[in-house]
């Protein structure tokens, strides 16, 4: 992007993949021409910069709706309320797979002696954008391959632990191996979802809960526990995906293993909610209660609280009368979900 920032031709970039095609980049030349500050332009629509609409603006809107290029003469609205007659060159930028990624717009004042040079800059920058898009696609593919290989390796480690657990005589050692295998399996599920979700900067928490809850329920006695999922869309930054996955695995495993002893029947509810102060996850059962499920000194509870601190979450334990309710309050997202 450094070449675009330094270019003398006013230009901007709009994200074709988002609703409203918001502006995601403007160079200094564009800000100098229009008088806007960068923060006043980023996130807005291209149409907000056009004065009076008209046939030319309609042609530009139609070209963007159809995902193609166009060149129109229209009035550009400046910050002080005045307008300048400009020629806007619109280019649709696609990746190697033919998917529309961005719209590139270059602005040249009509009658400028630099107009021919500006058009040459447009073509050169269009080529640069294509090269950058290709490099980004290659990097994304590499990251997906890493996720895929990590998932396979984690599944192999989990299988080795399960195999060893079947051959040891000590019940304590066997249980420790089974517990670790479940935790490794939760990490494998994270990478499986990362690989499947494609190009994202966030992790789908609700999809993970659905996935891991189904796996854990498969190990329970049919008909003993009624699982209820009340899942509103919830995402977290990718950097927090692994510790959050381990935390949720710990809470679900604890409830399924300890809340319903000796064949006791009951219900386990998992709910998610997006709130202004951050996401909220609730794991609640109607089992035997806090004292018997997970004492304060238990390793699982200590691990859960450590993982919560690692991701900046607040973890609270409550008596649900009957059973136990655990609430995880996640901090606000560092970036809005895509």
pLDDT tens-digit series, residues 21-77: 899 999 998 898 888 999 898 998 887 777 666 788 888 888 888 889 998 888 888
Higher pLDDT, 258 or 122: 258
Locate the domains of the chain by residue range: 2-112, 138-199, 201-338
pLDDT at 118: 55
| CATH number for the segment(s) 2-112 | 3.30.450.20
Residue 18, pLDDT > 50, answer yes
| Complete DSSP assignment for 43-101 | TS-GGGGBSS-HHHHHHHHHHHHHT--EEEEEEEEPTTS-EEEEEEEEEEEE-TTS-EE
d(CA 215, CA 36): 54
**201-338: which CATH topology?**
Heat Shock Protein 90 (3.30.565)
Instruction: Round the average pLDDT of the chain to a whole number and report it.
Output: 80
Task: Tell me the pLDDT tens digit for each residue of 270-289.
Answer: 999 988 778 999 999 999 88
Q: What is the mean pLDDT of residues 169-192?
A: 75
Question: Is-above-0.75 flag for pTM?
Answer: no
Strands (E), the chain: 11-15, 23-26, 70-77, 83-94, 100-109, 202-204, 225-231, 235-237, 266-275, 278-285, 314-319, 324-329
Residue 268, pLDDT > 90, answer yes
């Amino acid at each position: 992007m450094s070449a675009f920032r330094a270019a003398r031709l006013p230009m901007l970039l709009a994200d074709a993949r988002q609703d409203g095609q918001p502006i995601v980049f403007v160079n200094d030349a564009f800000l100098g021409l229009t008088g806007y500050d960068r923060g006043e332009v980023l996130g807005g629509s291209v149409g907000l910069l056009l004065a009076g609409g008209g046939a030319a603006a309609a042609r530009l809107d139609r070209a963007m709706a159809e995902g193609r290029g166009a060149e129109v003469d229209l009035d550009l609205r400046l910050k002080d309320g005045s307008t300048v007659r400009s020629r806007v060159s619109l280019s649709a930028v696609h990746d190697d797979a033919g998917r529309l990624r961005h719209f590139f717009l270059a602005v040249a004042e009509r009658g400028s002696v630099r107009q021919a040079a500006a058009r040459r800059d447009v073509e050169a920058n269009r080529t640069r954008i294509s090269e950058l898009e290709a490099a980004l696609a290659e990097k994304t593919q590499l990251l997906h391959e890493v996720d895929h290989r990590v998932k396979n390796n984690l599944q192999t480690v989990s299988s080795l632990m399960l195999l060893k657990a079947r051959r040891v005589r000590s019940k304590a050692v066997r249980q420790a191996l089974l517990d670790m295998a479940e935790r490794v399996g939760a990490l494998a599920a994270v990478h499986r979802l990362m690989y499947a979700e494609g190009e994202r900067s966030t992790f789908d928490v609700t999809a993970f809960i659905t996935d891991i809850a189904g796996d854990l329920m498969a190990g329970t006695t049919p008909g003993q526990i009624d699982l209820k999922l009340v899942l509103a869309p919830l995402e977290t930054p990718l950097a927090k995906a692994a510790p959050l996955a381990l935390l949720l695995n710990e809470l679900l495993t604890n409830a399924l293993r300890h809340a319903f002893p000796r064949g006791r029947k009951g219900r386990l509810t998992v709910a998610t909610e997006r709130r202004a102060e951050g996401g909220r996850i609730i794991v609640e059962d109607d089992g035997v209660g806090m004292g018997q499920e997970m004492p304060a000194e238990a390793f699982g509870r200590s691990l859960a609280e450590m993982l919560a601190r690692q991701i900046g979450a607040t973890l609270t334990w409550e008596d649900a009368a009957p059973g136990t309710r655990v609430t995880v309050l996640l901090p606000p997202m560092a970036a809005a979900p895509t």
